[in-house]
């Protein structure tokens, strides 16, 4: 369901860009008389049925720049003009912002579910995997320590000392690597020292 909402959000954002293009960008690029489809769409949006949309272009030159402004009017059969430039800009602005923001929130809502599911799944698998590796390494370290302990029983005290140092070093490395907790480290350390 959330995925459908996310897709609908994308559609709304695309629709917002279409509205912005029709009412703001395209009229600034093309003359209305040269784009009849654009003129018809804008005329349907702002003029009454008995009116025709006209555009008057004014060019102003200042040192270094030239500015063109467009005056939009809806002209009726009696040649009465009604200024609709503000209406066109308003439709472009609201027609862009409202669907874009709604679509953006819908898209984020739709993505939040899939992203959260991915994170939860990855975290759960990752934590289980890490826990299994840590348990396996702890077990391996304990087996090796017991094997060394058994093999070192008949040797002199110097080899016992080396075995003890190795066990403590390996235990410390396991703690530093995050394979065991501080409490596990202290308990196992006491156990190793008490065996000697």
Structure confidence by residue, pLDDT tens digits, 25-68: 888 888 888 889 989 999 999 999 999 999 988 888 888 888 88
Compute the radius of gyration of the chain from its Cα atoms.
38
d(CA 96, CA 90): 10
Residue 116 near residue 2 (C-beta atoms within 8 A): no
Give the up-direction half-sphere exposure of residue 7: CA atoms within 13 A in the CB hemisphere: 4
- Helix, strand, or coil (residue 152): coil
At 67, phi and psi to the nearest 5?
Answer: -115, 135
Which pLDDT tens digits describe the chain residue by residue (196 residues)? Answer: 788 888 999 999 999 999 999 888 888 888 888 889 989 999 999 999 999 999 988 888 888 888 888 889 999 999 999 999 999 989 989 989 999 999 999 888 888 755 455 555 445 545 555 555 556 566 666 667 666 666 655 444 444 555 788 888 888 988 898 888 899 989 988 888 887 6
Structure confidence by residue, pLDDT tens digits, 119-130: 554 455 455 555
Point out which residues pair with 66 in neighbouring strands.
Answer: 61
């Amino acid at each position: 369901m959330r995925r459908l909402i996310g897709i609908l959000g994308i559609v709304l954002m695309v629709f917002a860009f279409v509205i912005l293009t029709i009412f703001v960008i395209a009229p600034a690029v093309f003359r209305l008389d040269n784009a009849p489809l654009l003129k018809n769409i804008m005329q349907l949006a702002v003029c009454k049925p008995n009116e025709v949309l006209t555009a008057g272009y004014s060019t102003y030159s200042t040192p270094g720049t030239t500015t063109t402004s467009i005056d939009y009017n809806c002209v009726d059969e009696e040649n009465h003009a009604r200024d609709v430039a503000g209406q066109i800009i308003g439709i472009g602005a609201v027609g862009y912002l409202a669907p874009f923001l709604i679509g953006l929130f819908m898209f984020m809502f739709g993505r939040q579910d899939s992203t959260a599911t991915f994170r939860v799944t990855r975290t759960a698998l990752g934590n289980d995997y890490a826990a299994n590796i840590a348990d396996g390494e702890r077990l391996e370290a304990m087996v090796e320590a017991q094997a060394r302990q058994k093999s070192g029983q008949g040797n002199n005290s110097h080899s016992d000392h080396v075995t003890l140092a190795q066990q403590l070093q390996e235990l410390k490395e396991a703690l530093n690597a995050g394979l065991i907790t501080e409490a596990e480290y202290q308990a196992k350390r006491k156990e190793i020292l008490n065996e000697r």
